[in-house]
Amino acid sequence: MRCDDAGGVKPASLVLLPMALLAGALALAGCGERSRLELSGAVADWPHYGGDAGGLRYSPLTQITPENVSALRVAWTYRHGDVSDGRGGVARTSFPVTPLVVNDSLYFCTGFMRVIALDPETGKERWVYDPELRAREAAGPYPLTCRGVAYWEDPEADRGAVCARRIFHGTRDSELIALDADTGRPCPGFGDAGRVALREGIGSRVPAWEYYPTSPPVVVGDRVVVGALVADSLRVDAPSGVVRAFDARTGALRWAWDPVPPGWQTTPGPDGRVYEAGTPNVWAPMSVDEERGLVFVPTGNPSPDSYGGQRRGIDHYGSSTVALDATTGEVVWSFQTVHHDVWDYDVASQPTLFQLAGVGGGAPAVAQATKMGHVFLLDRETGEPLYPVEERPVPQGGVPGESLSPTQPFPTHPPPLHPTRATVEEAWGFTPIDESDCRTRIASYRSEGVFTPPSLEGSIQYPGSAGGMNWGGVAVDPERGVLFTNQTRSAAVVQLIPRADFDRLDPSAASYPDELYPMHGTPYGVKRFPLLSSFGAPCLEPPWGTLTAVDLRTGDVLWDVALGTTRDQAPFPLWFRLGAPNLGGPLVTAGGLLFIGATTEKTFRAFDARTGEEVWSRRLPFTANSTPISYRLREDARQFVVVAAGGHGWSQPGDAVVAFALPRR
């Protein structure tokens, strides 16, 4: 019996009750012995969004283990109060942030773009910065989102000088803000009173909700690099996906990479600067290789997402991993994960940098996870695949005016990690009634695998545009050479609607998860909705959410388990371990644990990293659609595991930062 099972002893009869209670008491006593603090292990903070600049999501801490994790308890909770459910004309908030722990402080941002610093061991508030967000209106398809901030220490500044240590932060007002990390005050020498406007060259008539940073900037040398979200499927001439680097001290523009094909000719605007409309944007987290002076950017697909007949080749860098020279912004190499993407399979995951003996000959590597369930292992210096990538024929016959790629790249090491069949034979239901309903629904749509093109009759997209893997990315244990990832397994239907018919529809009548997008400037609008039964459950066989471990040396799957239950989506007692759709990422520790929230239920979990067995869980006040972190700041201190719980679109918005630790003994 595991320690966390002791409280759940269920005797077969009252006759066995005393024996069961005695066994439970003995088990708990043993658990108390095993939970004593071990103070001889490593000390580490969490200075970057992904733990390190390369996004490993790995902690070297060993105080918390599979043997004592049952004793893990809430150490402190902080509630920031920035919550909106979308009523009253204010946008709905989400809280998918990954905090930083550096400079003896814990830093994070909220949906209303406030930045908050806490004491990492007590949760006591140190300072709050409020940018007084102007763009708070409930417009556009997305909630107010801030995934994180970046930290930088100026090696040329005097110790104790104002802004010698800085927090960089992007907001929905399309501003890049620099704050003194010790006080939270804006840095006076950066831009205009600590702010740099990000709308220059983008277009003055772009609504605030259509263009702004959601993922944290990255800092390399003395340059702070930032991308931005561009709203999906609205129009051909959507804002540019330009990536820019600013001087970390002054805010002056150092370079701009406009993701247009090589040789593309642009016409400067009245101010002498213009960035090409409709180019792939970089909304997801970036990574940095300081030693090689490289910034790794994951790109989206060009606008609009579901029809590419008018792109004129502008998707050269679409749905790709691109390595940029950190000094100049020039492209060093690029690798495309989807050709001519019309599925919204943009690269949502942070490129993860690692180097392991036995993987690609020990070359410095990049692991790029994608929404299709593909993980591409690339040479970090050249972008060449470390293992064969096969160009395989994919379905053709798109809508009139479309020009599809005849092949798509498929990795072989590891092979694809997500199933692709969504046929009548795969229909599933709780009862014969809803299974029959799903069979009928599947049969009415086109379904030929992962790259079935959008169609007029409606095409099943599996995985859906949310993944597979999404911005939660992967975690890599560099000691064991194992990659961990969570995925959603849920299909969607994508239907292109001729312009005249679409223009008679009312897009405002559609509500998530049913979506209508106009794709102005094309012959079509698009309708997208989940493939659900009449009972409201996914039509394909569970698990609907998974957690997977992959041996990077062999490419083999070590284990694959269901992640999540139907709790918080179905009434009691219909709580089944069928896996759940998930957004957010995993954390792996040297102590042998994998921590993750991510699902549609208000639960935070720990898994044994070697076996995939769930060994601990705790309920949270809201869903934790974020990536947890871990830190231990001194040799006499406890190891903390912290997660942000505040929902993300599909669940109740919230505002909790929750820290867990072992008891002091």
Maximal C-alpha separation, the chain:
87
The DSSP code for 532 is B
User: Closest Cα partner for 456 from 542, 378, 526?
Assistant: 526
Paired with 480 in beta bridges are: none
Q: How far apart are CA 289 and CA 325, in angstroms?
A: 10
Q: Between the CA atoms of 275, 276, 278 and 281, what dihedral angle is there, to the nearest 10 degrees?
A: -40
The Cα 617–Cα 619 span in angstroms is: 7
379: tokens are 């040479």
* Edge-to-edge strands, sheet with 73-79: 73-79, 656-661, 640-645, 629-631
Full 3-state SS string of 576-608 = CCCCCCECCCCEEECCCEEEECCECCCEEEEEE
* 243 within 8 A of 324, measured Cβ to Cβ: yes
Tally Cβ neighbours within 10 Å of residue 359: 21
Q: Which of 52, 344, 434, 568 is catalytic?
A: 344
- Catalytic residue status for 305: no
Q: How far apart are CA 579 and CA 562, in angstroms?
A: 5
Q: Token digits for 452?
A: 């079935």
| The two three-digit tokens of residue 398, written as one number | 């798109």
**Matching residue, tokens 């398809």:** 141
Structure-block tokens of residue 69: 């994790």
Put the strands of the sheet holding 175-180 in their side by side order.
Answer: 150-153, 165-170, 175-180, 195-197
Q: Which residues are catalytic?
A: 344
